[in-house]
Amino acid sequence: MASRAGRSRMNGAACTRTRSIPPTPDGYDACVRPPPKEASVETDRDAAGPPTRDICDRLPKVELHCHVEGTVRPTTVVELARKAGRPLPVDDPTELYRYDSLDSFLAIFWLVQETLADREDWARVADESLRDGAAHGLRYREMFFTPARHIAAGQDLGEIVAGLSEGIERAEAATGVRCSLIGDMDRAYGPEAALEFVEALGELRRTGRADRVIGIGADSTELGIDLRRFEPAFAAARRHGFRTTCHAGEAVGCGPDNIRVALDVLGVERIDHGVAVVEDPDLVRRLADERIPLTVCPMSNVVIANRYRSLEGHPFRSMHDAGLLLTVVSAAAMARPLVPPVTDLDSRSRRTRFNSACRSAAC
């Protein structure tokens, strides 16, 4: 695919700049915009100095891989489940997040999805998700939503998109963060449902009801899925003017072939996860030469997919050293009950984990 580098937001690495942006009041050069208006963050106090914002929060962040359904607050899950009459299997919502593989994680992800029953639910989770991110330095996000099971249950896609858009607008007004949407096909529902979803989203966009949706992706289960069957859906996405990306090379047991299929058959512009690329030196060189971005989720690869035993064993450093165009992203906050990300630890522990991650991943 020609001329990938330097294209629009879907393709831009987090800190690729086309103009000079002044430093933030914290002294950090923001990739996208000044700090959010309401960055309510933790502080710590040095023995000899005044309170200071935690370094992890002071860093301005662009997040190109985040699933809104994976960021729902546990308390919100309880309230939405009660509202929808959907019983939860545990009393403590944090106990939901116990899994040992990508597929067992997806079972929990789908359960949380089922609590989103109407337009206001979608607006609430989008609003809360962005406010939570802004408190930790988020400036811009491209946020996935995967509504296949909601559509199958009778929800209207237009209402889902409208709810998400309303929630984003509320969060933007309150914090200054900016957000676009990527509609993801759920591969577990098959290629026919994927094509119907893309066509419906394209019609919404044509009539001005999906202006925030800038792209189409594909997620959910990977093992045992023939990505080639989704080519008509991706062709339709391009016809409707959407940018394209795809989860590939993520699950244990899936090698670099799925990355090749995503690029050469589906024609996507960006790869989500893509860690299996390290198993194919020729493919590494190709992605590096063509500047094809990969949105890499180290914590997800360790805690959710169990592809690596630890962050120290993750190949991010070798991918970086090979010249690949990478961003480091979170994917879903559901990872936190087992291995807390930096935003969930006390300030001192967060700095320790942040520094360790930088050493192991060359962040």
Domain 53-361 has CATH 1.10.10.10: no
| Domain boundaries, given as residue ranges, for the chain | 53-361
Burial string for 124-137 (b: 16+ CB within 10 Å, else e) reads: bbbbbbbbbbbbbb
Query: Residue 97: its pLDDT value, please?
Result: 74
Do residues 117 and 157 touch, judged by C-beta distance below 8 A? no
Is 250 labeled as catalytic in the residue annotation? Answer: yes
Query: Residue 122: its pLDDT value, please?
Result: 98
Query: Residue 351: its pLDDT value, please?
Result: 40
Query: Residue 53: its pLDDT value, please?
Result: 62
**Residue 321: which residues within 8 A CB-CB, separation 6 or more?**
362
Helix, strand, or coil (residue 28): coil
Burial string for 177-192 (b: 16+ CB within 10 Å, else e) reads: bbbbbbbbbbbbbebe
**Residue 104: which residues within 8 A CB-CB, separation 6 or more?**
none
Task: List the structure tokens of 149.
Answer: 């099971």
| Residue 36: C-alpha distances to residues 4, 16, 52 (Å) | 30, 20, 17
Query: Residue 209: its pLDDT value, please?
Result: 98
The pLDDT profile of the chain, 363 residues, written as one tens digit per residue, is 333 333 334 544 333 322 222 333 333 333 333 444 544 433 333 333 344 467 888 889 999 999 999 899 988 998 999 999 988 888 787 777 777 777 777 788 888 899 999 999 999 999 999 999 999 999 999 999 999 999 999 999 999 999 999 999 999 999 999 999 999 999 999 999 999 999 999 999 999 999 999 999 999 989 999 999 999 999 999 999 999 999 999 988 899 999 999 999 999 999 999 999 999 999 999 999 999 999 999 988 888 778 888 989 999 999 999 999 999 887 655 444 333 332 332 333 334 343 444 333 333
**Set 95, 250, 279, 290: catalytic member:** 250
Task: List the structure tokens of 100.
Answer: 């040992």
Length of the chain equals 363
Q: How many CA atoms lie within 13 A of 246 on its CB side?
A: 24
pTM score: 0.79
